Amino acid sequence: MQELIRNIAIIAHVDHGKTTLVDAMLKHAGVFRENEAITERVMDSNDLEKERGITILSKNLSVHHGRYKINIVDTPGHADFGGEVERVLTMVDSVLLLVDALDGPMPQTRFVLKKSLDLGLKPIVVINKIDRPGARADEVVDMVFDLFCELNANDEQLDFPIVYTSAKMGYAKLDMTSESTSMEPLFAVVESNVHPPKGDAKAPFQLLVTNIDYNDYIGRIATGKIYSGKVKTGETLALIKQNGAISKGRISKLLGYEGLKQVEIPEAVTGDIVTIAGFDDVGIGETLASAEAPEALPYVAIDEPTISMNFIVNNSPFAGREGKMVTSRNIRERLDKELRTNVSLRVEDTDNADTFKVSGRGELHLSILIENMRREGFEMAVSKPEVIFREVNGKKLEPMEYLVVDVPSEFQGAIIEKMGPRKGEMTSMQPMGEFIRLEFVIPARGLIGLRSEVLTDTRGTAVMTHTFHDYAPYKGEIPGRKNGVLIAMENGETTGYSLDGLQPRGILFLGPGIEVYGGMIIGQHAKDNDLDVNPCKGKKLTNVRASGSDDALKLAPPRILTLEQALEFIDDDELVEVTPKSIRLRKKELEPTKRKRKN
């Protein structure tokens, strides 16, 4: 059985088609019935994944093709979820490196490829979207080869097989000139190039836990690859914790994968990827081993967080109106629960019992957590994201990001000009048809608030992607937001009459008929100072009618900020108030006199 198992992960930059390729492989392997209704991107099971069209959590499945059992892991493409990818790569024996036939290698391609090369995996390169207009498959293969050389791949890794696919249309071929209507060539390459999992089937049992989930019926469940030995349902195993402590427990359920479904299996052998229930305090990176001869496997190190923000109990005048979970105990319990499965997250207590410092891999990583919490009924305030500095040999170091901007050539000047004050250094500039690809190394601090400015300057045509590069000496001060804000002076409901008078002062974030409180931010000021305004003023009515005074008001549509945009917009003395129904911006200090005294 071990000889017929193939374990692969699909890795790529965001939007290069990983989940769509999994769909095509499932269809070809006959996992779906002829008449079965299939949703697109079937692996994106979480609501947020479906809405945003991105993969956030890595997922397992397995398909049978001929005599072979192929275990496939679909991984996220965003750099913020890199912790998921690093863990998963320890479970597999090869990776399908997916590259877009037009875009070529992108920042996250470099990141995930470096991780897999360091682990000694031999990738199979899949050039996807070959049916896309402007596809340049041969050129992209050369770019991928250059990237392998740059990342110091060994000779065996450089001799990678290449498959050309259109995951959307469901076909693969081994060279661009041949015809194909199915994914068969891809399966053939996987079966002949991926070696079966190593490990001694007769040795004592060992499994490294790489994923944790929770099931309401059977409790905590741990997923991982069996490194040696075999295991049966009901067997007693030893759990070896990270600190070396050993406890024993019994397997209540042993689950394997058949297509997308988890099914109960009586036993599993070396090399298979399985899920085990029965150990309530199991953690990621720990080992489940034979009770007679418990021996730990090496722990998987995960890159440290680069950004932190404070989660604060909501104390605004509207606190407790919309959320069910509002106390510090509720928030602490939810963060502890998240820590069990989210390996890249860190939570620390602060001097204030109502404030928790939460650190993650990037703004998106933390904003997904906040979005999930508000959907579960939580209410809280969140501070501006801050970069985590390090001190090495008395020197202050800060995280740097590798940034790639694809932009029409007419806007390249505006982008280069933006990078100067933000301490970005250009490393490369390449023409790509009508677009130009600009590559920079920039402090992580410089990325906060950059996306919205770049989209405004390029009329929404720029495509920005970034990934963690390295730590480098502190680059000096970076200027913050240029504009001040419009702050409501009193509690009440906004009126169209009042907002019409405020329109020339800046950009409004809300329309008429919205409840506000004193200290809440209602818009962006056109100048660089904050301005207290009254958006609730009603029109004084008289019994005299004058021409022109009864004209209909023409209010410009307000700028509605998403959670990510709100986190990028706020300054150090401001907070984002997050509830299940609303996202509001506010000053930390709501009283105008106290605020002025502090400033």
Residues annotated in the binding site, as ranges? 15-20, 128-131
User: Which positions make up the binding site for GTP?
Assistant: 15-20, 128-131
The Cα–Cα gap between 323 and 581 comes to 8
Beta strand residue intervals within 509-560, DSSP E: 515-516, 520-525, 531-533
Tokens of 416: 């280069």
Helices within 395-479 (DSSP H only): 412-419, 444-447, 450-457
Residue for token pair 């809440």: 520
Torsion of CA 329, 330, 331, 337, to 10 degrees: 100
DSSP secondary structure of 558-584: P-PPPHHHHHHH--TTEEEEE-SS-EE
The Cα–Cα gap between 291 and 235 comes to 9
The Cα–Cα gap between 432 and 430 comes to 6
Neighbours of 541 (CB within 10 A): 6
The Cα–Cα gap between 55 and 364 comes to 12
Nearest to 113 by CA among 74, 149, 156: 149
The Cα–Cα gap between 260 and 61 comes to 5
Name residues whose C-beta falls within 8 Å of residue 521's C-beta, 6 or more positions apart in sequence. 485, 486, 487, 488, 509, 574, 584, 585, 586, 587
Angle between helix 137-150 and 107-118 (nearest 10): 50
Contact 376, 321 (CB under 8 A): no
Q: What values do phi and psi take at 15, rounded to 5? A: 70, 15
DSSP 555: P
Residue for token pair 């065996």: 156
CA 275 vs. chain centroid, Å, equals 24
DSSP β-bridge partners for residue 237? 249, 290
End-to-end alpha carbon distance in the chain = 70
Contact 474, 389 (CB under 8 A): yes
Contact 392, 380 (CB under 8 A): no
Nearest to 271 by CA among 206, 208, 226, 207: 226
The Cα–Cα gap between 106 and 98 comes to 11
DSSP secondary structure of 100-154: ETTT-S-HHHHHHHHHHHHTT---EEEEE-TTSTT--HHHHHHHHHHHHHHTT--
The Cα–Cα gap between 88 and 65 comes to 22
